[in-house]
């Protein structure tokens, strides 16, 4: 009986080891496919959820696959990091698959966001965290009656489709509220409107959140092909 149990345990250990090996190989293939699909400079990290993996693989459908990449350029935007969560991934061949739905978060540094604003004709401003998840600080120099003022406008960010709209809620000079006459003189000069480009084939922008390290952009899409 003892030998029987040893044999059973040995077989289970072998199956787990084979399952882990197969999962690791599959994760590498997904990483290669994602890297090639989006022309990434470095291979992303991939985590296939579910156990046993071989049972899922036999059905050619994976419940969830997570992809994490850092310092990647997508759609001409240098992202600090990106996290893609792929659901109901249908494996069509050894080199191709289709995710039924994908939701993702990407962190855009404020310098990159300022470059996007420049593309829409506003290259004279600096963007930074405004102290709240929905607030962006827009800094720039404004000339009023021949005098230059270095100002910071705190703007409320609104998302409409793939467009970010920034509307000024308060203006400061040297950390103090700007005089009302000056605020009226600059009007809506710090109000911005620009688009976030489509990234990872995800067509819907679900939201944005300001953080000290950048803007977190939420995206979603369906029927996303890999490979």
Per-residue pLDDT of the chain (227 residues; tens, 9 = 90+): 444 334 434 443 444 456 557 778 888 888 888 888 888 888 999 998 877 766 777 778 888 999 999 988 888 889 999 999 999 988 887 667 889 999 999 999 999 988 888 776 666 788 999 999 999 999 888 777 777 878 899 999 988 878 888 898 889 888 888 888 777 877 788 888 888 888 888 878 888 999 999 999 999 999 988 76
Q: What is the pLDDT of residue 12?
A: 37
| Angle, vertex CA 114, rays to CA 193 and CA 148, nearest 5 | 90
Strand, coil or helix: 203 = coil
pLDDT of residue 140: 84
Tokens at residue 195, please?
A: 């688009």
64/72 Cα distance (integer angstroms): 22
Nearest-angstrom CA–CA distance, 163 and 14: 53
The per-residue pLDDT for 19 is 55
Task: Identify the helix (H) or strand (E) that includes residue 125.
Answer: none
Q: pTM of the entire structure? A: 0.83
In whole angstroms, give the CA distance from residue 89 to residue 226: 10
């Amino acid at each position: 009986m003892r030998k029987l149990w040893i044999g059973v345990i040995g077989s289970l250990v072998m199956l787990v080891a084979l399952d882990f090996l197969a999962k690791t190989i599959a994760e590498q293939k997904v990483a290669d496919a994602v890297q090639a699909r989006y022309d990434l400079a470095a291979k992303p990290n991939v985590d296939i959820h579910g156990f046993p993996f071989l049972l899922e693989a036999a059905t050619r459908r994976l419940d969830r696959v997570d992809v994490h990449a850092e310092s990647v350029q997508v759609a001409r935007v240098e992202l600090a990091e990106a996290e893609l969560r792929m659901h109901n991934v249908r494996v069509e061949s050894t080199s191709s698959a289709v995710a039924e739905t994908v939701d993702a978060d990407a962190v855009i540094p404020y310098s990159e966001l300022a470059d996007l604003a420049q593309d829409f004709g506003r290259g004279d401003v600096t963007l930074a965290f405004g102290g709240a998840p929905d607030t962006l600080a827009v800094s720039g120099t404004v000339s009023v009656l021949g005098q230059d003022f270095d100002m910071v406008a705190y703007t409320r960010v609104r998302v409409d489709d793939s467009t970010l709209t920034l509307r000024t809620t308060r203006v400061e000079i040297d950390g103090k509220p700007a005089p009302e006459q000056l605020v009226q003189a600059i009007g809506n000069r710090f109000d911005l409107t620009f688009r976030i480009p489509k990234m990872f084939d995800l067509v819907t922008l679900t939201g944005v959140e300001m953080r000290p390290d950048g803007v977190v952009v939420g995206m979603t899409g369906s029927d996303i092909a890999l490979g």
